[in-house]
Structure 1
Amino acid sequence: MRSTLRVVSLFGGFALLGALLYGAFGDRVLRRAVFAGAFLLSGAPRFVVAALTDGTLPLAVTMAIGGLDAGVLNPILTTVVHEHVPEELRSRVSGVTTAGCEPAMPLGGLDAGLPADRAGLTAALLTLGGVYLLTRLSSLVFPSWRAMDVSGAGPGRPSGATRKRTPHPSAS
C-alpha cells in the first residue's frame, strides 16, 4: 500500500512541476503538439509498464514522466477555454465541464474492475492502455483539434491576446 501511495505521489508532484514549467515556457510551443504528446506519454505507458514489469522502480519512473506530461494538460485546456468561449459564458461552460467530468472519474475505476476480473489484470491493463492510446490519437487526426493553435496565442504573444481576423476578400 505504501509503495502505491508513493508512486501516485510521484505522479502528482511531477504534474505540479509540469504545470509550473508550462507556465514558464508554454508560450514558446505549439499547444496541440504539446497537448497530444503529453496525453500520449502520460497515459498509455503507465498501463503497459504496470502490466509488463515487476517491481516499483519502473512504474515509479513511468509515473514521474507521466506526471510531468500530465501537468501541462489543464493549463492548456483552461487557456483554450478562455480564448474560445465568450466571457459571459465561461462560468457556465466551466461548470458544465466540471459537472460532466468529476462524476465520471470514479466510473473509470469501476469499469476497469470487470475486465480485470474476467480477463486478468495484465490483459485488462494492456487493453485499457490500448483504448487510451487510440482515443488520444484523435487529437492528431481530427481537424477540430487544430483550433488549439489558431487562437492567436503563441510565441511572443500573451495567452490572452487574440489575433484580429481580417475578412477574406470577396470575389467579384
Structure 2
Amino acid sequence: MSWRPLAGVLSAQAVAWTGTRLSAIALPWFVLTTTGSATQTGVIVFAEMAPYVVAQLLSGPLIDRVGPSRISVAGDLVSMVAVALIPALFALGLLHFGLLIPLVAVVGTFRGPADAAKTVFLPDATRAARVPLERGTGIAATIERLASTVGPAVAGVVVAAVGGPYALVVTAVLFGSGALIVAFAAPRQRPPAPAEAEAEDGYFRRLRAGMAFLRQDRLLRSMAGMIAVTNLLDAAWTSVLLPVWARDSGHGPATIGLLLGVLSGCAALSALVAAGIAHRLPRRPVYLIGFLLDGFPRFLPLALGAPLEVTILVYAVCGFGSGFINPIVGAIQFERAPQAMYGRIRTLLVAVAWSGIPFGGLAGGLLVARLGLSPALLACGAVYLLVTTIPAVLPGMRDEWSRKSKQDKEVTSP
C-alpha cells in the first residue's frame, strides 16, 4: 500500500483549484468595478469558460494517448504565463477590455485539459492506497472544498488590499506550483494501453467511441445534463449575482470571500465525512438531498435582503449538503467507464456538465439588467429547485439508481 501517488495527485489539485477559485473572485470583481457593467463581467466569464469546456471536450483522446502528466504540466504552465500577463499589462497601463478577452480565453483553453488530466490519476492512486473509490473521490472532494475555502478567503483579503488584477499574481504562482507537483510527485504510470484495434484508431474515431459510450449510459447522461443546468446557475450566481449583491449592499469583496469560504468550509467537512461513509450510504437519496440543500436556498437570503448573520447560517447548511455530491458523482463516473477510456469519458462528462458555465455569466448579467437583482436571484433559485427535483420523479431513473446501488452494495460491503 502506498499513499504517495494519492498525496501527489491531491496536492496538485489543491494548489490548482485554489488558484482557480481565487481568480474566480478577483477577475469578475476587477471587471465589475472598472467598467460598472454586469454584462461585460459576464462576457469575460464566457470568454474564459467557453474555451475551457470545448478544450475539455476535445482533450480526452490526447490524455488517453499521451498520458495525463504531460497534459497537466503543459496546461498549468501556459495558464501561469497567461494569468501573470494580466497584472503585468495592467501595471504598465496596457490592459484594456479587448486584450483581456483573449488572455482569459487562453487560460480557459489550457486549464480545461489540465484540470481534466489531474482527475484521471485518481483511480490508479486510490488503488495504490488500497481504499474504496468513494473514499478516494471523497478525499479529492474534501481537498477541492478546502481549496474553495482558502481561495475565496485569500481573494477577499488580497482584492480588498491591492485590487483584482494584482491578486492574480497569486493565481499564477499556484498554477506553476501545480505543474511542479505533477512533474515530480504525481503517479508516473500511464493509463493501461487500450486494445490493439483501438490503439490504431485515429483521434476522431477515439473521440466518437467515447461519445458512443456516454450516449448508451442513461445514468451518466442524465446526471451530466442536470449538472449542466445547475452549473450554469452556479456560474451566474458566483460571477455576477453575488458580486452585484456585494456591491449594492455595501458589503464589498471581503464578504464574497466570507460567504464562499463558509460554503466551501462546511462542504469540506461534509466531504470528509462522505470519504469515510459514502460507500455505505444509498447513493440516490444522498445525491438528491445534497442538491436540495445546496441549490435554491443559496439564492433566497440575497434576494430577500436577509441580515448577514442569517445569510452565513444558510450558506453553512448549503455547504454541508453539497459536500456529499462530488464523491458520489466521481465514483459513479469511474466505475462505469472502461479504464482505457478514462480520459475520454471523464472529459466528455465534464464538458457536458460544464457546458452551461460559459453562459452563466451572460445569463446573470442579462437577468440583472432586465429584471433587477432580487427577481434574478429568485428566478435562478426556482429553476435550480426544478431541475434538481426532476430525477426524484422519473421512474426509469429510480430503477437505474436502484440497480446500481445493489451492485455497489455487493462489491463494497465488508
Matched, 1:98 2:353: no
Deviation at 1:49, TM superposition (A): 2.0
Does the CA-based 8 Å contact 1:40-1:133 persist in structure 2? yes
Paired AA for residue 79 in structure 1: A
Q: Distance in 1 between matches of 2:271 and 2:399?
A: 22
Q: Distance in 1 between matches of 2:298 and 2:351?
A: 27
Question: For residue 153 of structure 1, what is the aligned residue in structure 2?
Answer: 408
Q: 1:91 to 1:79 in 2, by over 3 A?
A: same
Higher helix share goes to which structure? 2
Paired AA for residue 270 in structure 2: G
Q: 1:45 to 1:66 in 2, by over 3 A?
A: same
Deviation at 1:92, TM superposition (A): 0.9
Q: Distance in 2 between matches of 1:148 and 1:82?
A: 16
| 2:318 aligns with one of 66, 70, 74 | 66
- SS of 2:412 mapped into structure 1: coil
Does the CA-based 8 Å contact 1:32-1:146 persist in structure 2? no
Q: Distance in 1 between matches of 2:399 and 2:365?
A: 35
Deviation at 1:11, TM superposition (A): 0.9
TM-score between the two structures when normalised by the length of structure 2: 0.36
Deviation at 1:146, TM superposition (A): 4.1
Paired AA for residue 91 in structure 1: G
Question: For residue 26 of structure 1, what is the aligned residue in structure 2?
Answer: 278
Question: For residue 85 of structure 1, what is the aligned residue in structure 2?
Answer: 337
Q: 1:90 to 1:149 in 2, by over 3 A?
A: farther
Paired AA for residue 94 in structure 1: R
- SS of 2:299 mapped into structure 1: helix
Give a deviation string over 1:25-74, Cα, whole Å, max 9, x none. Answer: 21232111010111011010111122113321111111111111111111
Give a deviation string over 1:63-115, Cα, whole Å, max 9, x none. Answer: 11111111111110111112222223222110112234446424213211211
Query: Percent of pairs identical after alignment?
Result: 30
Q: Distance in 2 between matches of 1:146 and 1:39?
A: 20
Paired AA for residue 78 in structure 1: G
Which structure would you say has the larger RCO, counting Cα contacts within 8 Å and 6 or more residues apart?
1
Does the CA-based 8 Å contact 1:39-1:136 persist in structure 2? yes
- SS of 1:150 mapped into structure 2: helix
Unaligned runs of 5+ in 1: 162-172
Matched, 1:110 2:362: yes
| 1:2 aligns with one of 254, 264, 274 | 254
Q: Distance in 1 between matches of 2:349 and 2:324?
A: 18
- SS of 2:334 mapped into structure 1: helix
Larger Rg: 2
Of the structure 1 ranges 95-104 and 3-12, higher mean CA displacement relative to structure 2 is found in 95-104
Deviation at 1:134, TM superposition (A): 0.4
CA RMSD of aligned residues (A): 2.1
Unaligned runs of 5+ in 2: 1-252
TM-score between the two structures when normalised by the length of structure 1: 0.82
Paired AA for residue 336 in structure 2: H
Q: Distance in 2 between matches of 1:110 and 1:3?
A: 23
Q: Distance in 2 between matches of 1:105 and 1:51?
A: 22
Paired AA for residue 127 in structure 1: A
Deviation at 1:136, TM superposition (A): 0.4
Give the length in aligned residue pairs: 159
